[in-house]
Structure 1
Amino acid sequence: MAGTEHPSRRDNVYVVITTYNRAGYLEALLESIRALRPAPRGVVVVDNASTDATASVIAAARDACAALPVPLPVIHHRLERNVGGAGGFSAGVARALQEGAAWMWLMDDDVTAVPGAIGAFGPWMEKYDALVGRRYDADGEPFFWQHRFSTFLGFPLPVVGDVFKHTNEFPTNVGCFEGMLVHADAVVAVGLPDPRFFITWDDAVYGWQVSLTRPVMYVNEFVLHKVRRQRSLDLKFRHLNDSSDLSRFYVMRNRGLVAHYLRAHGAFNPVGFALGTLLTAAKEFFRLAAVEKTVHGTAELWKGWRESRTILADPAWEPMPPLTPGTPPSHHPEQK
């Protein structure tokens, strides 16, 4: 029928943010989202039981976005306890799907959005269901992120060189929840992000699972600024940032979950995976010595590895299930 408007595949984008006790960073991020043109359809802020001014920051952003010429809904999805980035994104994706999102743009709280980011994604949204855009670091320089996941090692390997020298899209098989844009169809096929990871490895494994059924594309458009400064070491082919004892524990502990996902998809090689675990530990030892100038933290690596063995030995473990098309998932059990 003449004059009938058809929804674009670029429409209905929800921004999904996971935050915990970073009210200052969150305020800057929400201000940048308010300036996005074209604008998203809505914003879901998953609050991991923050104890700082997070609630008031979200309330102020909700009021400011409601006053826009086209109001932008800001949903405060508060959890009863801190379930980490993985649990936060699991809850946030579920909530966005309940709100009717076609696309979910996932991000941590320590970034800001480039004003034209959603429009920049547009051409690729017509072709693909999973996209990762480029980021600037805290100094305004390109942030290194170009990897491919080795199933033999169970480990993401950096891809050296300029992957955009001859093209503006680079096919990968990993995800990054600091800026990954994922379509609801991909989420239905894979299921929600796995909250059992808490932090670390969750996005890499999720992107790999998506890549088993459809392309995951790293695209030559800068869409985010990283604003939190970290100590780092320039290795020429990548930057190695500082970490924390919590991250050190989970980077080793979650090897057990990575192994289970590889097994679930018939891609687990015990020899290669053991080598990948050694590489993971070596990388963390090097990070401690070269970036953080200490040896404190090695106990957390050892503790995490021991727990990974317990996880790996669990005969009842099951991967996150795919979703039922057309049926939004129920609210995350930690929702308040």
Structure 2
Amino acid sequence: MTPEPTAAPRVVGVVVTFNRLELLQRLVARLREVPELDEVLVVDNASTDGTGAWLVEAAAAAADGPHLRVRTLADNRGGAGGFHDGLAWALERDADLVWLMDDDGLPDPDCLATLLARRDDLDFWGPVVVDQADHDRLVFPIRLPGGTRSVHRMRDVEAAAPDGVIRDVVIPFNGVLVTRELVERIGLPREEFFIWGDDVEYLWRARAAGARVATVVGARVLHPSVGELGTPMMLGRTTYNHSPSDLKHYCMARNNLVNLRAYHGWPHALAFVAKTVWFYSFTRPSRRRLALSADAMRAGLRGDFSGHRRFLA
């Protein structure tokens, strides 16, 4: 007897957006061209740039491709809150696989098909994320497994993945696929993080649960450049994620300390504290930033995730 073909999984896309209407329009147009995608769910974080009105019109308009559904949150809950709600919503919509992405990425037309070709042996996997102005440059560098080497160019990624896959590495929430089974096993992203570190925490949680994680080199998402990640410190021997935004820094300092303590223990957490003190004492001296860092870290250790709200307009 000829075995019956395996039914195609129901794939639901989840996009989280906030005040980037032009980029969102570009992304939604692309997603509606992806035949493997069954539905697109857009979570709008209370945008104020006309996004909400455009989404209502776009969802109501007759169009080819996957159906578009929209949910507008009452207030801005950041990427963490958006992905928390969006992933839960996708499961309510009977998704077998959920394709997660921010509004500023643009997957290649064959990105999802390339990822789906690996679905039998992976639980949490995604594409490389490259600079839309320079397709050989990674927007988010990849640290290769088994060492400390990070690669910044596609040619180096390809050389490190002769079978087309880099195991145990993925850039979360930038075109990643996650299985329903894994979400049901490990839960949803930590909505209280607001921004910064929620994606890393979810990846580390998945790894701790034994998930099969990978980057598929042949799948690609284009993304605007974010510049060189990490400001050099200690004579260039390491870097620090400095941001001029108090909101971003507060969330980074709080959430990174929480993640390091939970998944790597106090030695790594204290090393991050020392690195922060060094950076704002010697590399970019700022008593105000030292005080803000201390406030954020104390809040994280207390389990208080409300302090970032003071920076929201």
Q: What is the TM-score with the length of structure 2 in the denominator? A: 0.80
Map residues 24-39 of structure 1 onto 2, 5 A cutoff. 24-36=22-34, 38-39=35-36
Normalized per residue, which structure has more helix? 2
Q: In the alignment, what sits opposite 1:251?
A: 252
What is aligned with 2:298? 309
Secondary structure of the residue aligned to 1:17 is strand
**Match of 2:311?**
none
Contact 2:112 2:219 in 1 (8 A): no
Residues 42 and 70 in structure 2, CA contact (< 8 A), matched pair in contact too: yes
Tell me the alpha carbon deviations over residues 148-171 of structure 1, each in whole angstroms, 9 at most, x when there is no partner. 799xxxxx9663483432331111
Give the whole-Å Cα distance in 2 for the aligned partners of 1:282 and 1:176. Answer: 29
- 1:258-269 correspondence to structure 2 within 5 Å: 258-259=259-260, 261-262=262-263, 267-268=264-265
Verify: 1:219 aligned to 2:216, yes or no.
yes
The question of 1:41 aligning with 2:32 is answered no
User: What's the counterpart of residue 20 of structure 2?
Assistant: 22
Post-superposition Cα deviations, 1:219-275, rounded to whole Å, max 9, x if no partner, equal 112331103x4443799xx9999843321111102134314632xxxx42x223211
The total of aligned residue pairs comes to 292
The aligned counterpart of 1:185 is 181
After superposition, the CA RMSD in angstroms is: 3.5
1:92 counterpart letter in structure 2: G
Change (3 A) 1:147 1:310: same
Task: Summarize the alignment of residues 99-248 of structure 1 with structure 2, pairs less than 5 Å apart.
Answer: 99-141=93-135, 142-143=137-138, 144-147=140-143, 159-160=150-151, 162-165=156-159, 166-172=162-168, 175-212=171-208, 213-227=210-224, 229-232=225-228, 243=243, 244-248=245-249
Structure 1 gap ranges (5+): 151-155, 290-294, 318-336
| 1:7 positional shift | 1.1
Unmatched segments (≥5 aa) in structure 2: 233-237, 306-313
Identity of aligned residues (%): 28
* Of 277-286 and 76-85, the range deviating more from structure 2: 277-286
Higher RCO, Cα 8 Å, sep 6+ = 1
CA distance in 2, matches of 1:17, 1:285: 39
Give SS of 2:166's match: strand
Q: CA deviation at 1:174?
A: 5.8
Q: Report how far residue 115 of structure 1 moved.
A: 0.7
Structure with the higher fraction of residues in strand conformation: 2
Q: Determine the C-alpha separation between the residues in 1 that align with 2:131 and 2:118.
A: 23
**Contact kept? 2:261, 2:269, Cα under 8 Å:** no
Cα distance in 2 between the residues matched to 1:203 and 1:261? 15
Distance 2:56 2:302 in 1: 45
State how far apart, in whole Å, the 2-side matches of 1:301 and 1:312 are. 17
